[in-house]
Amino acid sequence: MTVTPSAPRSGPSPHLAGLTTLRVGGPAADLVVAETEDALVEAVRGADEAGTPVLVVGGGSNLVVADEGYAGRVVLVRTRGLRAESDLCGGAFVEVAAGEPWDDLVAAAVERGWSGLEALSGIPGTTGATPLQNVGAYGQEVSQTLARVRTWDRRRGAVRTFAAADCGFGYRTSRFKQEPDRFVVLAVTFQLGVGDLGAPVQYAELARALGIEVGRRAPARAVREAVLALRRGKAMVLDAEDHDTWSTGSFFTNPFVDPDRLPEGAPSWPADGDRVKTSAAWLIEHAGFAKGHGDGPARLSSRHTLALTNRGEASTADVLALAREIRDGVLTRFGVELHPEPVLVGCSL
């Protein structure tokens, strides 16, 4: 790709609270809105050449920024575009610009008869952010259908494309997350099935909602509708009028523990190596933190103990204080340390 000199749109420097789903965070020193791939590369490259720190923001759904704000350049990824090639043998190869809203892509896939993303319905954020976390829900992960990721390598100063096998995917991680200041995702290509049926349903709760057995298939449209209903019931679909949805979604990842360290009664699933994965939500609830816990501007969601929510006037400090209380409570009760899922910028637990 030849990057032509471009003029990314600059604007006033708002508080990051207005750019994140948790709605906390101080001002940005500099804000650039990148609406084309060239503009995105130029905004990042220009800051790098000037020695200016860069924070790339998509939908802001997995981001917690310090109350002091960000003393560098914030680049808003607002690129758009979807290109598809489809046949019954190879399926659909769908290349998507990083700034495309993720749920718009899932809706389009279901509408066009492409399967493999339907259980990821209702997840906020942009498509370019999904490989970083290896986003997953209800038995599906992005890595299952991702074919390649095109990136800007800030260290090499060049465009690089990674096949799925080279992305280092794991549970809520990837090589892009492990090297957070190196790669900027420009576009993601998925290989999806073609047909009305979704992928085999691997999540028991979703299977029950669909009235099928785990491992069976259902129409992709029905899977999407069932997932959206389940997520709404847990306040995991964004709604500006509902403070239970003012969150980053799940604040803690499910921990991996040695089988002999698994708390009695805790659910578990096989994991890599000799460890098992258990439920952070179960640990939080059984450590004494009920839904709605808290009496300040930051509280647990009234519908899901994994979501730390802003009740309207919370600061980043309020959210982190609640997170520390929960993390420390679970550690004291069960000896298991919870780790945050969102990216913490200028702050820490």
**Catalytic residue numbers?**
172, 250, 341
Instruction: State the sign of the Cα–Cα–Cα–Cα dihedral 88, 136, 190, 60.
Output: positive
CA dihedral angle for residue 349, residue 318, residue 16, residue 106, rounded to 10 degrees: 80
Strands (E) across 203-332 are located at 256-257, 268-270, 276-278, 298-300, 308-310
CB of 304 within 8 A of CB of 235? yes
CB of 63 within 8 A of CB of 342? yes
Q: Give Cα 64 distance to the centre of its chain.
A: 12
Cα end-to-end distance, the chain, whole Å? 40
Q: How far is CA 5 from CA 41, 186, 305, in A?
A: 10, 17, 48
∠ CA 96-17-291, nearest 5°, is 95
Sheet with 54-57, strands from edge to edge, namely 9-11, 28-34, 70-77, 54-57
CB 175: neighbour CB atoms within 10 A? Answer: 18
Fill in the amino acid letter for 218.
Answer: A
Minimal CA–CA distance to 343: which of 31, 60, 128? 60
∠ CA 41-25-291, nearest 5°, is 120
